């Protein structure tokens, strides 16, 4: 079974997913970060595919994207890196990125590469549901790759139900209509989160505005867990030893 499916079968609450951009802060730091996150017992890892023109990302993730590209990161390089740890890293991995690099790589070749290196799911924010369903759904299913949809406070009930019916793992609930890295009082979105809880059969994780133990705990009160990106990327740039910075950040999130 896909590792995301295995995870959700045994755990449904306080799920912690960590996002970082591949090739940041250094080109060869990708696997080091993955290994340390796995040792720190996070539940999921979202690996960003660097892109020059991100739409929904704030300045921190934009900086990590541009630095990664300058470092020489490419989609093929990322697959080569993941191939090195496919037999030793058991944590569920999700690739998150925009559709253009995937289209250029070749969608079926992308799905095949994901399967070969142990990627379990993808998040492609700018691929419309219609195009996914009519042109690409069969390819992702052929290779057992979960496609993870995003919802926002503006998502209609009809669209929520459509996304819920098409989802095979969890749903990414954007907390606010903003870019990543901002601060948000998640309790102000209680009505929205309760709407999701009442209408979704699939688990959902809250992202955007989750950056510390307090916001992670709040998110877990409403959802099955949360996604942290910008705050973690900031932790990667701190002075000191990378592995130690990662461990300390995760411990602070979970107050271990």
Q: What is the pLDDT along the chain (256 residues), one digit of tens a residue?
A: 699 999 999 999 999 999 999 999 999 999 999 999 999 999 999 999 998 776 656 688 889 999 999 999 999 999 999 999 999 999 999 999 999 999 999 999 999 999 999 999 999 999 999 999 999 999 999 999 999 999 999 999 999 999 999 999 999 999 976 545 456 689 999 999 999 999 999 999 999 989 999 999 999 999 999 999 999 999 999 998 999 999 999 999 998 5
DSSP helix/strand/coil, 44:
strand
Of the residues 43, 57, 84, 164, which is catalytic? 57
List the chain domain ranges. 3-8+22-254
Distance CA(200)–CA(137), nearest Å, equals 20
pLDDT computed for residue 242 by the predictor:
95
Q: Is residue 144 a contact partner of residue 2, using CB atoms and an 8 Å limit?
A: yes
Determine whether domain 3-8+22-254 maps to CATH 3.30.70.3400: no
Active site annotation includes 57: yes
pLDDT computed for residue 17 by the predictor:
98
pLDDT computed for residue 181 by the predictor:
44
Of the residues 36, 43, 46, 120, which is catalytic? 46
Alpha-helical (H) ranges within the chain are 3-10, 30-39, 59-71, 75-85, 99-105, 107-117, 129-131, 137-142, 157-166, 190-199, 213-222, 230-236, 242-254
Look at the block and give the residue holding tokens 């740890």.
85
Active site annotation includes 43: no
pTM: 0.94
Contacts from 62-68 at CB under 8 Å and sequence distance 24+?
63/233, 64/20, 64/21, 64/24, 64/25, 64/233, 65/21, 65/24, 67/21, 67/23, 67/24, 67/25, 68/21, 68/22, 68/23, 68/24, 68/27
């Amino acid at each position: 079974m896909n590792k995301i499916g295995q995870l959700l079968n045994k755990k449904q609450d306080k799920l912690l997913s960590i996002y970082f951009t591949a090739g940041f802060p250094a080109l060869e730091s990708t696997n080091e970060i993955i290994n340390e996150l796995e040792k720190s017992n996070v539940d999921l890892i979202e690996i960003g595919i660097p892109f020059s023109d991100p739409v929904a990302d704030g300045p921190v993730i934009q900086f990590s994207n541009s630095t990664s590209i300058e470092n020489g990161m490419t989609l093929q390089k990322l697959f080569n890196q993941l191939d090195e740890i496919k037999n030793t890293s058991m944590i569920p991995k999700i690739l998150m990125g925009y559709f253009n690099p995937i289209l250029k790589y070749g969608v079926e070749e992308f799905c095949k590469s994901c399967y070969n290196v142990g990627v379990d799911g993808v998040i492609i924010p700018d691929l419309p549901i219609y195009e996914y369903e009519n042109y690409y759904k069969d390819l992702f299913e052929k290779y057992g790759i979960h496609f993870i949809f995003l919802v926002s406070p503006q998502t209609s009930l009809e669209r929520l139900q459509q996304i819920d019916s098409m989802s095979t793992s969890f749903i990414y609930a954007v907390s606010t209509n903003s870019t990543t890295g901002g601060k948000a009082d998640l309790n102000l979105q209680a009505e929205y989160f309760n709407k999701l809880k009442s209408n979704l059969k699939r688990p959902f994780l809250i992202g955007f505005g989750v950056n510390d133990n307090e916001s992670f705990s709040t998110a877990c009160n409403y959802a099955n867990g949360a996604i942290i990106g910008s705050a973690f990327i900031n932790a990667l740039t701190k002075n000191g030893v990378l592995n130690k910075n990662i461990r300390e950040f995760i411990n602070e999130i979970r107050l271990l």
